[in-house]
Structure 1
Amino acid sequence: MTTTISRKALSSFSTFSSAFGQDQTSFSAFIQQPFDSVEDLTAQAKRKHPVYSSASRKIVTDTIARQLEHQLSVSQLSNLDLLREETTMTITTGHQLTLFGGPLFLLYKVLHVVKLARSFNESQTEFKAVPVFWLASEDHDFEEIQSAQLFNKNLRWESEQKGPVGRFHMENYDLVLDELKAFFTTKEACELLELVKDLPDTNYAIHYQQLMNRLFADFGVLVLQPDDHALKQLFIPVLQREITEKPSFKAVQVTNEQLQKAGWSPQAQARACNLFLLDATGRHRIDPSANGFTIDGKAYSKEELLQLTEQQPELFSPNVILRPVYQETILPNLAYIGGGGEMAYWIQLKGVFEAHDVLFPLIQQRNSLLLVDGATAKRIEKTGWELSRFFEPKEQLRKAYLLEHDADQLNMEAIQAQFQSLRLSMITKAKEIDASLESFAEAETVRMSKQLEVYEQRLLKQVKQQHEQALKAIDGVCDRFLPGNVLQERALHWLNFAPSGDYSSLLTAIEAVIDPFQSDLIVVELKN
């Protein structure tokens, strides 16, 4: 059973997320075109197909085949063969490398792309589309992704390594992997244990690529690792233009001014040069200087960097401004699917794409889902409330429940009024006897006021005990829906909804309810 709740009714979604998801028309100046039907993909295919070369297609398909040699499922092999055809395009999502797949929304992103590609293929016969998952393996924010909260335990990969997470060696990773396996060792033929069995340990990008490849094997998803020499060769013209002309900074500045005039705050800031240089010690900013460039204090001439782009393009890494340009340069892509935060910076980039002569894709906000497992459904039933009620802060809900069920017992207004009358009488009486007693009387009434607070709290505690089961149910639902006042899809690791370790039914249930053109929160009652 599924229902929807409007994003606008939920404070957990930003104003931008609600507006962009509901109607892209007001953002027309910042995007290729509003994307509100599957037919828009056909229009984009007619734009992209003539400007995407056969040579690029061969490099991309050969790279996927090389990266995932002997690891592709039947449906993935079929999609790779399709992608070799000139009329096959891609629909893409991407994400940084996480621990064992990360939050629930990662599943939503990927399965959204799967569903959208299928809808496109069923809607017309001129083109085909295959789903692609782009690994942001050059991201260097390890602290953001090094831990996972599973079954009330924090799993954490401890490492002192720096630089792109995809290039991390696997030191200490076996320790956190063993912790994960320990949750499922009592299960026979557990899918999760098979998922993580014998994964390569060359580096984290290769390990994670094969993990995601296995996880989405049945859906035909092609998982691409872009930190690759062959792929970076396709990016050389953009690298060289960024070094020689530096057009991205100005393009973003112009767009940011337009966004601010339209009432939106820019998500990302461009730099004078939006590239990093990768080496064994990390990912280093390339900063323009009076005589060329500096990288960690070391001087480089423009000619030296240009020569390096020709010889070793894999040493260059785009930042958040140019990463989408890299993606759209190498893929025959029609649309990028991402979260609200991603959409907020994508709308800053159309001018950057134009400056680098790369076609801007359609963009779409991914579905947002709320999963309701059996235990949570029972807790909701225990409170007697509708599900939509549980998007308020926990303490506010607890108070509301008590007031609904014991308002008379908790109503202290009459007692407070009597106390205020008594307080005034005490102070007046003291002043009548001797004016110097006024401060004494006020101090006594303050002490009495504090005692009254203790009295009120004791009564409240007793009422709470009488409703302990219902209040525990409220706590349980809130911790499942808005843990730490963060949306479930962002706060909870997906494996929390596959406690047996068998995840296929979870993926199937999610894929069944994904609706690429649904902008509201989709509430899914799981059968378990």
Structure 2
Amino acid sequence: MSTEVYHLSSAQPLTEAYIQQSDERIESLFGYHPEKEQDWSRRSKRLENTAASRVESVALAEALRDYNTKFQTAPEAQASINAIAEGAPVIVGGQQAGLWSGPLMVVHKAVSIIGAAKWATKQLGKTVVPVFWIAGEDHDWDEANHTYVLTAEQELRKLSVQRPEGARTSVSRTVINEDTWKELLAELEQSLPHSEFKPVMLEQLSQAAERSQSLSDLFAGILTTLFGKEGLVVLDADDSAIRKLEAPMFRKLIEQNDELERAYVAAADKVKGFGYELQADVVPGSANLFVFQAANGNERTLLHKLEGKFQDRKGQVSLSKEELLQLADQEPSQLSNNVLTRPLMQDYLLPVLGTVLGPGEIAYWALTGGAFRHLDMEMPIVIPRMSFTLVEGTVAKHMAKYELTFEDVATRFDEKKQHWLTEQDQLSIDERFAAVKQSFNDMYGPLLELASSVQPGLAKLGETNRQKIVEQIEYLESKTKDAHNKQYEASIRQLDRIALSLWPSGKPQERVSNMTSYWNRYGLTWLEKLLEVPYERTGGHQIVYL
């Protein structure tokens, strides 16, 4: 296997400063750092000393076992759950569910979680368990309902599923029927090119769909299929058994809501004072909690504090503090976290040694440090997610043919493509047409002056006439170039295939392409190669040649 390190900018200055430790002020927003080996030991010791303040490990393991068993997870994952029952710490990272697992960065996050857990196990000399937190409580259907695959015609095709009729509830509570799964699977089969691995892949995806009632279930089933043997445990944040365990923390979040709000506001002011932009909204008066409206199809609604009540913006929900606390105690499945309270809940539920986050997530976690401290908790080690670009053999071959680097494709592809086509122009089409236009303008100028001297009104007519003639010359130039370029259609297809593979729709591969395109072509050897890449505690981007 061949790999190449490439610095892929995250477009998050705060995250870059945290990873590189280039701004010492940032340390106060977090606490630990993955590059400091002593921090791993410190955090591990902290978890041992605070076990009584979290969910009881046996009860947690029981809920995880019930959920993971639904997806026929591997013995290695069951062993991980047994380790959690005995108090093992975890490395956790999460993502909202996506159709057929969503973009490749989901796979990259799972690989990072597993890599961090293996590294920590070796470093600490005790079992550390990888856990994938499925953000099933989220209700943004348009984020979860689609994915993109490369078709047999070498086109990027969007596959999606419409949201069933009903209230805007969580993804995990949005039920997908059996016929819809069959239609989605048929569309995937039709989209992907034929290969020796396709039948097995489709069979495994079909089995996952048969066990699924929601996109979250399908997502969990795919993760267990791909990573169960690596000991990965999946958790759905909207699982009712998990919600029951979280009830005491919901009570804390409600009872101390004003103090937590002040902590978030203070952190936001600090981040802005350091010169960084906020990556999550800190809204005055927000409770940073959602409620599911049972009377309205379990629609998920954000709560705000208005006139001593917890209300929604439309005034359809209005709960007193006592009523909300009663809900937390008796029906915790009707409550849900937002991006600012989720880190607190995660740390209460799990013994989190470290959390694997993407660039944007690291930036908004910077807002939560004060809230952790207010609840006498500590932010875990924030671990940057590793990312990858998969380069197929034919793509690498074509890159070499056209002398393209990955950076060329990512930052200046259109320019490089046009430069290559221009170099093929042995007829000097650009120069010769430019010369004709210049010659015409030179000859036409005196005629225009002559006409306007005879009658000033002819100047405008003459200029319009000049523009039309130039436009006709340019039209002929365009047609000549098209005809010339037709000679290089195969090369243009090869060039476009490079961009489509590595930088589809002008974005990094990991944010667009779905893993089924690679599973279909290579079986699971591509995934094995990712798992073999040496783990990097500070993330980074690696180009992996298949």
Taking structure 1 as the reference length, the TM-score comes to: 0.90
CA offset at residue 431 of structure 1? 3.8
Q: 1:490 aligns with which of 487, 511, 536?
A: 511
Structure 1 residue aligned with 2:479: 458
What pairs up with 1:128-147 in 2 under 5 angstroms?
Answer: 128-147=127-146
Structure 2 residue aligned with 1:256: 268
CA offset at residue 38 of structure 1? 4.7
What pairs up with 1:24-35 in 2 under 5 angstroms?
Answer: 25-26=23-24, 27-35=26-34
Matched-pair contact (CA < 8 Å) for 1:394–1:475 = no
C-alpha separation in 1, matches of 2:55 and 2:340: 26
Structure 2 residue aligned with 1:288: 305
Flag the 1:28–1:105 CA change in 2: closer, same or farther, 3 A.
same
CA offset at residue 352 of structure 1? 2.0
Q: Secondary structure at the match of 1:128?
A: coil
Aligned pair count reads 520
CA offset at residue 416 of structure 1? 4.4
Matched-pair contact (CA < 8 Å) for 1:397–1:474 = no
Structure 2 residue aligned with 1:98: 98
Matched-pair contact (CA < 8 Å) for 2:421–2:485 = yes
Question: Could you list the runs of 5+ residues in structure 1 that have no partner in the other structure?
Answer: none
Matched-pair contact (CA < 8 Å) for 1:196–1:211 = no
What pairs up with 1:11-410 in 2 under 5 angstroms?
Answer: 13-16=11-14, 18-23=16-21, 25-26=23-24, 27-53=26-52, 56-69=56-69, 71-86=72-87, 88-125=88-125, 127-152=126-151, 153-158=157-162, 159-161=164-166, 162-171=168-177, 172-180=180-188, 190-197=200-207, 199-246=210-257, 247-271=259-283, 272-278=286-292, 279=294, 280-295=297-312, 297-392=316-411, 394-406=413-425, 408-410=428-430
One-letter code aligned to 2:145:
Q
Q: Secondary structure at the match of 1:288?
A: strand
What pairs up with 1:411-430 in 2 under 5 angstroms?
Answer: 411=431, 413-430=434-451
CA offset at residue 284 of structure 1? 1.9
Summarize deviations over 1:342-385 as a string: whole Å, max 9, x none. Answer: 11211121122223333211112211211111232233233233
One-letter code aligned to 1:65:
R
CA offset at residue 154 of structure 1? 3.4
Flag the 1:260–1:417 CA change in 2: closer, same or farther, 3 A.
farther
Flag the 1:100–1:449 CA change in 2: closer, same or farther, 3 A.
same
How large is the Cα RMSD of the aligned pairs?
2.7
CA offset at residue 250 of structure 1? 2.0
Structure 1 residue aligned with 2:544: 524
Matched-pair contact (CA < 8 Å) for 1:276–1:285 = yes
C-alpha separation in 2, matches of 1:167 and 1:396: 47
The alignment status of 1:506 with 2:526, answered yes or no, reads: yes
Q: Secondary structure at the match of 2:280?
A: coil
Q: Secondary structure at the match of 1:305?
A: helix
Identical amino acids, percent of aligned pairs: 22
Matched-pair contact (CA < 8 Å) for 1:234–1:329 = no
Q: Secondary structure at the match of 2:69?
A: coil
C-alpha separation in 1, matches of 2:4 and 2:239: 43
CA offset at residue 33 of structure 1? 2.5
Matched-pair contact (CA < 8 Å) for 2:289–2:338 = yes
CA offset at residue 415 of structure 1? 4.0
CA offset at residue 110 of structure 1? 0.5
CA offset at residue 137 of structure 1? 0.9
Flag the 1:489–1:298 CA change in 2: closer, same or farther, 3 A.
closer
CA offset at residue 329 of structure 1? 0.9
Matched-pair contact (CA < 8 Å) for 2:60–2:245 = no
C-alpha separation in 1, matches of 2:214 and 2:493: 44
Q: Secondary structure at the match of 2:355?
A: strand
One-letter code aligned to 2:282:
A
One-letter code aligned to 1:7:
L
Which has the higher mean CA deviation after the structures are superposed, 68-77 or 19-28?
19-28
Structure 1 residue aligned with 2:459: 438
Q: Secondary structure at the match of 2:305?
A: strand
Which has the higher mean CA deviation after the structures are superposed, 396-405 or 201-210?
201-210
CA offset at residue 79 of structure 1? 1.9
Matched-pair contact (CA < 8 Å) for 2:12–2:360 = no
Matched-pair contact (CA < 8 Å) for 1:112–1:514 = no
CA offset at residue 327 of structure 1? 0.7
Q: Secondary structure at the match of 1:190?
A: helix
One-letter code aligned to 1:78:
A
Matched-pair contact (CA < 8 Å) for 1:293–1:302 = yes
One-letter code aligned to 1:504:
L
Q: Secondary structure at the match of 1:117?
A: helix
Taking structure 2 as the reference length, the TM-score comes to: 0.87
